[in-house]
Every structure is written in structure tokens, then in C-alpha cells.
Structure 1
Amino acid sequence: MDEIVKLAMARWPKVPHCYGWLALDARGQWRMRDERAQALNLPGDPIRNLALQQFINRNYDVDAEGRWYFQNGPQKVYVDLDCAPYIAQLLPSQEWRLHTGQLLKAPHCLYLLDDGNLVLRHEKILAQIDDRDLSQTLDLLLVDGNKAQDEQLNALFDAADAFLQKHQVELLWQGERVPLHLSGLPALMQELAYQAQARPEQSGQVD
């Protein structure tokens, strides 16, 4: 967290929180949602200012209640999540970079979601793979120890539960094999006590 943010928090500790104005989409874009976007449940306009993007990235965190927020000086700006709290992008070096700019440490599990998306997990970090990198990610999958073939991938996505009862699927990542499991994003979020949205009534605070 930026030092200037820490100083502002100490100087103004009781600034009301902000809800519903900032969202994170499935490609790792920060989006600003005005009242119209909130009322119509629209995604909002992407924040294109690079300095602001980087400022949000550096000061993005989760509170004790599992609500994700951006610490904007003394004010918490809570984030509406379109998917997982982090978005992972595959680099040419086959490293995973989070949308916040940090590299993801060695994932210990890969989840295939019921909507066909893939989520990496390292300890308490849940990172959905950017859909633009799904094809390259599938190239890294092994089925029963061998590179996954197109017909096997088709069978996996057509009937994942049945396929995984017969075959072991793993992600080959920097020489390590990361097992693939089935899950739904709500179940993963609940396991880690994360919330996709935060609203004042959840904490009893009226802003």
C-alpha cells in the first residue's frame, strides 16, 4: 500500500466507504460505474488512465469480511467482482501475471468452472485466466501424463465430470504438474469467505 495512503488513513480514519462505483471485469479491467450503470446493472466505463490503474492495483486488498476494495486515500472503495478477485494473464515466459502486475506464485490447483472458465489457486489467491489466454493454457494440459489432444479436450468440456472419473488432467507449469478439479466460482469464493459485492447494509454502515 502506498505510504501516502497510509498517512491519509491515519489522519482521516472515519471517512465513509464507497460502494458500487468500481468494478473489476473478467479481463482485469477496472471499470467506473456511475449511477446509471449501477441502476441498469451495466459494466461501466473502463478506466484507461495508466497512472490511476497502477494506483488502484497497488492499493487493492480484501478486508476481514472478505470484501475486496481499493484504498483511495482514507476511503475504502469497494469493488464489484465480475468473476474471481484476480485475473491471470499468461506471459511468453509461461509465468502468470495478475492484473495487479504481480507474478502469481506456483499454483497448487487449477479449477474448471461450470461456465468453461479456468481458475488458478495459490493459497488464498484465486485468479481466473483471461479468456484471451485460454487456448494457450489448454496447450499446457496433460491427460494421463500426455499432452492433451483436441478430442480429449472436447470430451472434457462436453462432460467434465464423466471425463475426470476416467482420466487425470493436469496443467504442466514450469516442470510441475498442477491437478485440475471441477468447481463453481461461488463455491470457491465461499470456501475462502470472499464476497463478490459489498454493500452498506452488510456491515450496518449507512454512507
Structure 2
Amino acid sequence: MEDWVYRALARWPNVPALYDWLSLDRRGRWLIRGEPITRPQIIDTINRNYAVDERGCWYFQNGPQRGYMKLEVAPFVLRVADDGEQLLTHNELPVLRASRGFIDAEGSLLLATEHGAAAFADTELDWALQRISGAGSLLQDEELAAALALRSGTQTPLQLRLENRCLPLIRLDAEDVEAELGFVRVPSAPA
């Protein structure tokens, strides 16, 4: 986080947190009350001051106030960098280490990364599908359908090729994603 945030927190330590105003959609866009934030300076500020609390709830630290994010899919949304290989989060963090990969019946492809749980933006799914393999070198529709039919938590025979390694894909129901990847999709105020 930026220095001005720490100074504001020291000056006003007890500002109540904000819930149900901010969100992150599956394309990596910040929204306020359901409307996309388009001003580059605001987007850059949110990107630099985005963090997670001890409960696994993601937020934007706006000076002394935390604005908790409702997440459509995951805390980070992945896109492919201009080089066609490197993955970046929606807030421009390079993904250097992905430890696990997941697919769900809703068509989401998620990775456990060094930054946290990340879902491929729907605009990047073609890139990812070209890098998923089954028994042969190219993914067959039947292989994908069979993998999606597996029980949640089951390792599939599919692998995602990322740079110089292959990451096995685990079938995961959408309702199991938060517990498996350690985040809260819809934060609420502690009781």
C-alpha cells in the first residue's frame, strides 16, 4: 500500500468499513454500485491499494476506510500479457508461480497463484483452452465434457500448459471455490 494510506490510518484509526458498494467482475473491472469505474486515476489507486484481511475478505484501502469487494469469481482476474505467454492479474501483477489449477461447470478456469486465487477473464478462455491437453496433444470436446462431469475435488486427466510446465486441473464446483482457495466472495461485517 501507499504511504498516504498508512498516514491516513494513523490519523483516523477507527473509520467504519464499507460493504456492498464495490465489486470486481469476471473481466477484472472494478465496479461501484454495479457500474464500471472508468477513471484511470481511480482504477490505478484501487489497483495499488488492494489487499486481503485475516478472514480472506478482499478490500480497497481508501485512506482510513476499507471498501470491501464483492468478487464475481475470484480476488484476481487473469489476462495474457502482450508477449502472448506471461499472465498478469487485473491489477498488473505478474503471475510467476501457479501451484494448482481448477475448472468448474460454469466455465471458469482458476489458478492458485502467489497473489491469491485468480480466474481467467472470459476474454482469455480461448488462449487457455489452446493450452489445455488431455490424453492427446489437443483437447477433445469429449475429454472436457468428461472432466466437467467429475465430482468436485477430483483431479481430472487434463493439464494446463503454462510456459515450461504443465499444471494438472482439478474439477471444482463453484460453491467449493472459496473454501478450497481461501477467500470470501461476498464479505460482510463481522458480528
Q: When the two structures are superposed, what TM-score results if normalisation uses the length of structure 2?
A: 0.90
Question: How many residue pairs get matched?
Answer: 188
- Asked whether the equivalents of residues 88 and 97 of structure 1 are also in contact (C-alpha less than 8 Å), the reply is yes
Matched, 1:14 2:14: yes
Aligned-CA RMSD value:
2.1
Q: Deviations over 1:91-123 (max 9, x none)?
A: 242111100110112212221112121011125
Map 1:156-171 → 2, pairs under 5 A: 156-160=143-147, 168-171=157-160
Within the candidate set 160, 165, 171, 1:176 is matched to 165
2:134·2:143 contact (CA, 8 Å) conserved in 1? no
Instruction: Choose 1 or 2 for highest CA Rg.
Output: 1
Q: Aligned ranges for residues 181-200 of structure 1 at < 5 Å?
A: 181-200=170-189
Could you list the runs of 5+ residues in structure 2 that have no partner in the other structure?
Answer: none
SS at match of 2:102: strand
How many Å separate the matches in 2 of 1:195 and 1:71? 17
Per the alignment, residue 29 of structure 1 pairs with 29
The one-letter amino acid paired with 1:102 is: L
Unaligned runs of 5+ in 1: 34-43
Question: Does the C-alpha gap of structure 1 residues 68 and 109 become closer, same or farther in structure 2, counting only changes over 3 Å?
Answer: same
- After TM superposition, which residue ranges in structure 1, 4 or more long, deviate above 2 angstroms? 156-159, 161-165
**CA shift digits 1:45-102 (9 cap, x unpaired):** 1000011001001111111111111000000101111111110001242111100110
* TM-score calculated relative to the size of structure 1: 0.83
- Among 82, 86, 93, the alignment partner of 1:102 is 93
- 1:41 aligned residue: none
The alpha-carbon distance between structure 1 residues 138 and 161, as it changes in their structure 2 partners (threshold 3 A), is closer
Q: Name the residue aligned to 1:130.
A: 121
Aligned match for 2:103, one of 72, 92, 112: 112
Alignment of 1:49 with 2:36, yes or no, is no
8 Å CA contact 2:147, 2:158 repeated in 1: no
Q: Distance in 2 between matches of 1:86 and 1:100?
A: 8
Give the AA of the match of 2:142: A
Provide the identity percentage.
Answer: 32
Structure-2 residue corresponding to 1:75: 65
What code does the residue aligned with 1:51 have?
Answer: Q
